[in-house]
Amino acid sequence: MKLFISTYPFAQYDVGPLQLLQNIPGLTVEKNPFSRRLTTAELENLSKNSDVLIASTEKISTKVLDNSPNLKLIARTGIGLDNVPLDECKKRNIKVTNCPDGPTQSVAELNIAFVLDCLRYVSLSTEAMKHGQWQRKTGYMLKNRKCGIVGFGRVGQATALLLRAFGAKVKARDIAPDNAAAEKLSVEFLEKKQLLEWSDTLFLTVPLSSETKNYIQLEELTLLGEQSVLVNTSRGGIVCESDLEVFLKSNASFFAGMDVFISEPYDGKLANQKNFIGTCHMGASTRESRKNMELSAANSVHDFLKAFSLKKI
C-alpha cells in the first residue's frame, strides 16, 4: 500500500507521526518533495496510485481521485474540508477524516495577535520606524471592547475565553448555537445584523460554505462602523476582498487582519493598504499545533488500516 503525504511541513518539528506511519506493516510512505504547498497539478501527479492520502489545504481535485482508483482514506491535517470533494468521496467509498482539535488554540491565539496589532498599531508603527519615522500612535485597549464572534465552535469558544481574560465583552452568532458553552463563557447569541451593529471588533471563525461565502460584504462592513476591527482566520471567500479593499481605502480608522484568502499565495491589492495586516494561512502554524494535527492524521491512518486489515481476514 502507498501513502502519500502532500501536506508541508510534516514531521519537521516532531518525527513521532512519521515514525508511526513508517512502522505500519506493508505501507510505503512518500512525502511532498518540495518545501512548499503543492499545486493541484503537482498533487494530481505525485499522489498517483495512492491508497491513502494525508493532505493539508491544497485542492483535491476529482482527477486526484481518478489517478488513485484504490484510494481508501483522505486524512486532513486540519479542520476544514472545503478542499475535499466530499460527495465524490462518498460515491467512491473513500473515508475522509480531519483533526478538529489540533489547531484550535493556535488559531485562537492568532485571533488575539491580530486584534492587538490592529488596536495598538504594532505593524504600522514598525513599518514607519523602518522608514525613519518615529510615530507614537494612540490606540485602544482590548478591555471593554465589544467583540463579536461569527461561528461559536471550537475556535470561536477558545477565542472567547482569551478575550474574557482581557476583560472584553463578547457576543456571538452561530447557526447551531452551543448554549451550554455560551452560558459557561457568559456569551449571548445575536442575529447577524444585531451582532454587526453591536460589535466594534468582529472575528470570523466559520467554515466556508454556500451560507458563509461572501458573508462580509460592503453592507456588513458599513454596519460595523469606521473604527472597528475585522479578523478572519477561517477561510478565504468569507470576506468579499474587493469590497474590503474599497472600504479600507475610504475608512482609514477601520482595520482588518486576515490569515486566509480566496487565492493563495495572495498577491492582491489588500496588501497595499496601511490599515490591513495579513499572514500566510498560518493560523495552525505553531509547533505544538503541527504535532497535534500530524499525530491525529497518523493515528487516523493507523486505525483505518488496522480495521481494513481485520476486514480482510
Q: Which residue among 235, 241, 290, 294 is the active-site one?
A: 235
Q: What is the pairing mode between strands 2-5 and 52-55?
A: parallel
Judged on CB neighbours under 10 Å (0-12, 13-18, 19+), 274 is middle
Match domain 104-278 to its CATH number in 3.40.50.620, 3.20.20.70, 1.10.10.10, 3.40.50.720: 3.40.50.720
Tell me: the pLDDT tens digits for 5-36? Answer: 999 999 999 999 999 999 999 999 999 999 89
Q: In this structure, how many other beta carbons lie within 10 angstroms of the beta carbon of residue 221?
A: 24
Q: Active-site residue 290, yes or no?
A: no
Helix (H) or strand (E) holding 291: helix 287-312
With a pLDDT cut of 90, the percent of the chain lying above it is 93
Tell me: the pLDDT tens digits for 54-69? Answer: 999 899 999 999 999 9
Tell me: the pLDDT tens digits for 213-240? Answer: 999 999 999 999 889 999 999 999 999 9
Cα angle 232, 237, 242; round to 5: 90
Q: Which residue among 30, 183, 219, 264 is the active-site one?
A: 264
Least confident of 153-162, 171-180, 238-247, 301-310: 301-310
Question: E-assigned strands of 100-254?
Answer: 146-150, 169-173, 188-189, 201-204, 229-232
Q: Where are the alpha helices (DSSP H) in the chain?
A: 16-22, 40-46, 62-66, 86-91, 104-120, 122-130, 154-165, 179-184, 192-198, 218-224, 241-250, 287-312
Q: Active-site residue 164, yes or no?
A: no
State the first-to-last Cα distance of the chain, in angstroms, to the nearest integer: 17
Q: Which residue among 76, 145, 173, 281 is the active-site one?
A: 281
Burial string for 76-98 (b: 16+ CB within 10 Å, else e) reads: bbbbbbebbbeeebeeeebbbbb
Q: Rounded to 5 degrees, what are φ and ψ at 307?
A: -65, -40
Residue 58 in contact with residue 5, Cβ under 8 Å? no
CATH number assigned to the domain covering 2-100+287-312: 3.40.50.720
pTM of the entire structure? 0.89
101: cell is 482539535
Q: Active-site residue 235, yes or no?
A: yes
- Read off the pLDDT band of 313 (50, 70, 90): very low
Cα 114 off chain centre by: 14
Residue type, 137: K
| Residue 287 predicted with pLDDT over 70 | yes
Which residues on neighbouring strands pair with residue 239, listed in sequence order? 216
* Residue ranges, CATH 3.40.50.720, the chain: 2-100+287-312, 104-278
Tell me: the pLDDT tens digits for 30-59? Answer: 999 998 999 999 999 999 999 999 999 899
